[in-house]
Structure 1
Amino acid sequence: EEEKAQIKAREIQEEAEARELAAKIEGVILQFSAKAGEGGKLFGSITGKEICDELAKVTGIVVDKKKLDLPEPVKTTGKHTVKVHLYPGVAADFTLEVTAAAE
Structure 2
Amino acid sequence: MKLILTADVPNLGAPGDIVEVKDGYGRNYLLPRSLAITATRGAEKQVASIKRSQQARQIRDLGHAKEVAGQLGDLSVTVKAKSAGDSGRLFGSVTTADIVDAVRAAGGPALDRRAVDVPQIKTTGSHAVTVRLHPEVTAELQVAVVAQ
TM-score when normalising by structure 1: 0.75
Structure with the larger helix share: 1
Q: Is the 8 A contact 1:83 1:93 kept in 2?
A: yes
Equivalent of residue 91 in structure 1, options 127, 133, 138: 138
1:75 paired to 2:122? yes
* Map of 1:8 onto structure 2: none
3-state SS of paired residue (2:91): strand
Amino acid at match of 2:102: E
Pick the structure with greater CA Rg. 2
Matches within 5 A, 1:1-103: 14-34=61-81, 35-72=83-120, 74-101=121-148
* C-alpha distance in structure 1 between counterparts of 2:89 and 2:100, whole Å: 22
Higher relative contact order, chain-length normalized (CA < 8 Å, sep 6+): 1
Q: Could you tell me whether the CA contact under 8 Å between 2:96 and 2:117 is conserved in 1? A: no
* Matched residues, number: 88
Q: What one-letter code is carried by the residue in structure 2 that aligns with 1:31?
A: T
Letter matched to residue 28 of structure 1: L
Which stretch of the first structure deviates more once superposed, 53-62 or 88-97?
A: 53-62
Aligned to 1:7: none
Structure 2: which 5+ residue stretches go unaligned? 1-59
RMSD: 1.6
Shift of 1:38: 3.4
TM norm structure 2: 0.54
- In structure 1, stretches of 5+ residues that fail to align are 1-12
Q: Distance in 2 between matches of 1:21 and 1:32?
A: 20
Q: Which letter maps to 2:104? A: A
1:76-98 Cα shifts (integer Å, max 9, x gaps): 10100111010011111111111
Q: Kindly, what percent of the aligned residue pairs are identical?
A: 35
Between Structure 1 and Structure 2, the one with more strand by share is 1
CA distance in 2 between partners of 1:38 and 1:53 (Å): 26
